[in-house]
Amino acid sequence: MNFPKHLTGLKDLNKDVMENIFSLTAEYKKKILTREKSYPDLKNFTVLNLFFENSTRTRVSFELAEKLLNMKVVNFNADVSSLSKGESILDTVRNLEAMRFDFIVSRSTEINFPEFLIKYTTSQIVNAGDGTNEHPTQGLLDIFTIKENFKELIDLKICIVGDVSHSRVAMSNIYGLQHYGAQISVCGPDYFIPKDIKKLGLSVCDNIDDAIKENDVLIMLRIQNERGAGEMIKSLDDYKKLYGLNKKRIEQNPDILLLHPGPWNTGVEVEEDVLDLPNTKFFEQVTNGLAVKLALFTLMTKNN
């Protein structure tokens, strides 16, 4: 199978390609858990981690995956770059292209920044988040985590709860899960639900208790204050009453699977008492994220 040259999003990613990633992800996850470091040797590949937004899980797991695969890794630090001297993003990218990186992993506030990089560089581009558009590696690791827990995704009921309108994680999960025929809904106040959500075939639930009772999986989302979401909330207490997850509420559906891409705001969308429940996969998602990235580079270098 031909693997795409770039990973910009899950909207147009073929389900067979996703399955290919997941079968290698499962193999690599076993190696991570046993600390066995026998991965393909990608020493001939250079990679630039070009992050213009802060990150813990995504940036660290990309860098670790790249180093476990023996790639030559360079981390771009915007704060100490010549952007501070007034150099434009376009000129920055043109200069980075002059060094002919094989891969660029990018995170940006700008929607379609990966497409901009595809236009101005010859590197293979991996999107690590572009504005509110997509976060495909998060979508892949979330779907892999769901697949580990359910035999079939077709007609599985999955609800995305919280600040959906500012969430690229929500979009990548929606696109990716729709390839599998899952029944997806969203739950949150009106101002956090994208206006055209019904055009995507999603239903809307207006409180977390119903979402817990009616679904197999909840994907909890953080309120994205950095995108102005906090200012839309009139009362945080009212928000928690309707959309906050806690241990007591989960008793309404003890089998429900709980995901969160992180970072989570403890005491806002999730309470601390949720973290230790067997339903909660937040940390396992991070392990799966490393395995997904190992699989992704292995496949992207093999077929291109």
Instruction: Give the residues lining the site for ligand CP (CB under 6 A).
Output: 55-59, 138, 261-263
Token pair of 183 as six digits: 């029944």
CB of 254 to ligand CP, least distance (A): 26
* Smaller CB separation from ligand CP, 127 or 138: 138
* Smaller CB separation from ligand CP, 58 or 165: 58
**How far, in Å, CA of 117 to CA of 6, rounded?**
10
CA angle 33–34–37, rounded 5-degree value:
100
CB of 94 to ligand CP, least distance (A): 27
Q: Residues 215, 195: contact at Cβ < 8 Å?
A: no
Q: Residues 100, 79: contact at Cβ < 8 Å?
A: no
CB of 291 to ligand CP, least distance (A): 15
* Smaller CB separation from ligand CP, 106 or 183: 106
CB of 134 to ligand CP, least distance (A): 12
CB of 141 to ligand CP, least distance (A): 9
* Smaller CB separation from ligand CP, 57 or 157: 57
* Smaller CB separation from ligand CP, 60 or 200: 60
* Smaller CB separation from ligand CP, 194 or 261: 261
Q: In which region does residue 141 sit, left (phi positive, over 0), alpha (psi from -120 to 50) or beta (all else)? A: alpha
* Smaller CB separation from ligand CP, 144 or 183: 144
By C-alpha distance, which of 99, 96, 31 is closest to 64? 31
**Residue 115 identity (one-letter amino acid):** E
Q: Which is it for the CA torsion 50, 222, 219, 147, positive or negative? A: positive
DSSP 35-91: T-------TT-EEEEEESS--SHHHHHHHHHHHHTT-EEEEEEGGGSGGGGT--HHH
CB of 205 to ligand CP, least distance (A): 23
* Smaller CB separation from ligand CP, 181 or 263: 263
The edge-to-edge listing of strands for the beta sheet with 257-259 is 203-205, 183-187, 157-161, 217-220, 257-259
Three-class secondary structure of residue 9 per DSSP: coil
Segment holding 19, helix H or strand E: helix 15-34
> C-alpha dihedral over 284, 289, 294, 299, to 10 degrees?
120
CB of 288 to ligand CP, least distance (A): 12
Q: Residues 31, 38: contact at Cβ < 8 Å?
A: yes
CB of 147 to ligand CP, least distance (A): 18
